[in-house]
A and B are shown apart, each in its own frame.
Chain A
Amino acid sequence: MIRYVLRHILQMVVTVWGVVTITFLVLRITGNPVDALLSPNATAQQRRQLIRELGLDQSVFVQYGRFLEQVVQGQFGRSIIAGTPVAHTVFAELRPSLELVGLTLAASAVLGVAGGVLAAVRAGGWVDRAIATVMVIAQAMPSYWFALLLILVFAVHLAVLPATGMQGASSIVLPCATLTFALLPYVLRITRSSMLEVLGSDFIRFHRAKGLPARSILFRHALRSSLAPVVAMLGLQTGLLMSGMVVVEQIFGRAGVGSLLVSSILSRDYPVVQAAVLAIAVIVVLANLLADLAIALLDPRVRLGGASS
């Protein structure tokens, strides 16, 4: 088990390094951000000074080395626009984002597993088909449009929930509903197929033959054995969830890493962009690590056999 955990932590470090490197490379494609930062009629001296301040006069390798050093030390310099330390800014925005993401994951897990089990138990019936239809629509739904429709119905017409802002607990309902609807098809589908597979397996047949009551078979044995792929799916889809979070925070006017990322991209505040991307990458990788650990706890074959992929 310890080797299993260590191997996953090592993979995690490699992945975060990779994401940081890609971000660095993408941001340097244009050469320098100076043109975007200075007005077109800036003097050559102002230009040179800014280039030196940002370290852009050094070679790419030196810049990359310095950048990695900063990342390891947890320092990202100062925001080009606001002048405040970047690490502070990003850290402050992390909490509201994590609340939204955590709540969404919980809601998707509960609704997805419940719906998936229901669909599996009634496979082929009208409940199953109704759920499948809603999921096909959910998968084709642009999340930003769904968010706007929710605002239209619940904030504009019914006026029961706030459209934007972060005041009170009710303000998280619509953002969370939007993201949950986007995540649900994946969780529900995998629960259904995993459940069906387990329900058709020999050990369930054995329990039936033993005369265990149907409910106990379903919840005690079948559900537990079919959860591992569901947890893996939740981990895998945190990436999707992060993209959704960016647009949802934007639409509902919520503070968070997503809104910070968009505003810093639009204002070309590259140190902030880099730190925000790093924060998102760490969230994704941590979610996958937690998922892997949960799977190892759920399924002894994984932690003992080492047959994980």
Chain B
Amino acid sequence: MPGRRSSGVHRHLRVPPRGSRLAVAGGVLFALIIVVAIFAPELAPDNPVGGALSLTLQPPAWMHGGSAAHLLGTDELGRDELSRLIFGARVSVSVGVGAALVASVVGVPLGLVSGYLGGRFDAAVGVVLNIFLAFPFLLLALLAAAVVGPGASNTLLILGIAGWPVYTRVVRAEVLSIREHLYVEIARTMGFSRLRVLARHVFPSVWPTFVVLSSLQVGQMILSESFLSFLGLGVQPPQPSWGNMLADGQNLIYSQWWLTVFPGAAILLTVLSVNLMADGLRRRIAPQLDATGSPQGGRLRSSRPSKAAATGRTQSSTAG
């Protein structure tokens, strides 16, 4: 590990200014969205759940018939769209970040242990992983949501528990190569317990991968939450979430386009900002992952050395 990043090849891989500027922009935008989510009660101009029936379906302020009191118009119950969007950020951010964390709490230890121990345990984990990877994640979440019941905290837990395989797969692949490194072998020879070697020597090397993967997963989880809420199995009205606002807007798409466009744009911008940030992080600290967070492959020049490393890794793991 030491000296790896300062070697000649990697200096060429240094993030081009263009890419890193985008990543910073993404990070700043996501930070802003988090701030909006935290201070929603202070920022929202109006009550997100209480509307006036005299004010239903007002267009945005710049359109004919709009008013400055409701910048982005009102929905079919006369609730202020902007306030609902602001409160919707709370749901998206908390469920997105929370679910990614829960998934990592389940998935990372499993990947660490399975990759490090190898043998039968690892083979069993591999079989289970394959099954879960064949089971579309969102459908599993859909099933679980139907059984457990809707609501923001249920959605968070369901997405988190259903989301473990991604972490296990990536961490396991990473550990398979790390455990062959000399420093891990030395730690083992010195008689440290398995737990200590894993926690103190292996895990720190997985850390960059973990950070990148988690940030990519936050984006995925935000999309998943809005997916469930859109289908009526996630966050329930009247609590505003971008997904259930979109479902409301869908019925009025012929006359009130803004009720469809704004919540969707909020989801897109949020996920885009997270993804840009995650991609920038990836290129800087975990270039062996590809853009979707999978090990192996990679981009442009980095793809060749990492491919070589990947094949070397599988060989050494079958030999060991």
Contacts and interface: CB of A to CB of B under 8 A. Distances in A.
Given A123-B300, A142-B223, A243 B250 contact: no
B226 A142 contact: yes
B13 interface: no
A136 B304 CA distance: 23
Nearest to B318: A307
Interface stretch (A55-63, A64-72, A208-216, A273-281): A273-281
Given A145-B264, A239-B134, A26 B140 contact: yes
A186 interface: yes
Contact of A190 (B146, B232, B297): B297
Interface in A254-309: 261-262, 265-266, 268, 273, 277, 280-281, 284-285, 288, 307, 309
- Most interface-central of B132, B133, B147, B297 (chain A CB within 10 A): B147
Interface string A169-195: 000000000000000001001100100
Given A140-B219, A189-B291, A250-B231, A18 B136 contact: no
Given A190-B297, A196-B300, A14 B268 contact: no
B169 to A, nearest CB: 11
Contacts of B132: 18, 22
A122 B264 CA distance: 33
Interface in A117-158: 123, 136-137, 139-142, 144-145, 148-149, 151-152, 156
Contact of A29 (B135, B148, B230): B148
A281 B267 contact: no
Q: How large is the interface on A (under 10, 10 to 19, 20 to 34, 35 or more residues)?
A: 35 or more
B142 A140 contact: no
In this complex, the member of A144, A156, A200 whose beta carbon has the largest number of chain B beta carbons within 10 angstroms is A144
Contacts of A273: 143, 146
A284 B140 CA distance: 14
Interface in B244-285: 246, 249-250, 253-254, 257, 260-261, 263-264, 267-268, 271-272, 275-276, 279
Given A148-B260, A309-B314, A265 B131 contact: no
Contacts of B78: none
A266 B145 CA distance: 10
Q: Is the interface of A mostly helix, strand, loop or mixed?
A: helix
A11 interface: yes
B303 A197 contact: yes
A142 B292 CA distance: 16
B275 A140 contact: yes
Interface string A230-242: 0000001001101
Nearest to A18: B131
A156 B236 CA distance: 28
Interface string B182-198: 00000000000000000
B250 A251 contact: yes
A162 interface: no
B75 to A, nearest CB: 15
A15 interface: yes
Nearest to B148: A29
B288 to A, nearest CB: 13
A265 B134 contact: no
Given A265-B143, A284-B135, 9 more contacts: A18-B128, A27-B147, A142-B230, A145-B267, A197-B304, A239-B133, A261-B139, A284-B134, A307-B314
Interface of A: 11, 14-15, 18-19, 22-23, 26-27, 29-30, 123, 136-137, 139-142, 144-145, 148-149, 151-152, 156, 186, 189-190, 193, 196-197, 200, 229, 236, 239-240, 242-243, 246-247, 250-251, 261-262, 265-266, 268, 273, 277, 280-281, 284-285, 288, 307, 309
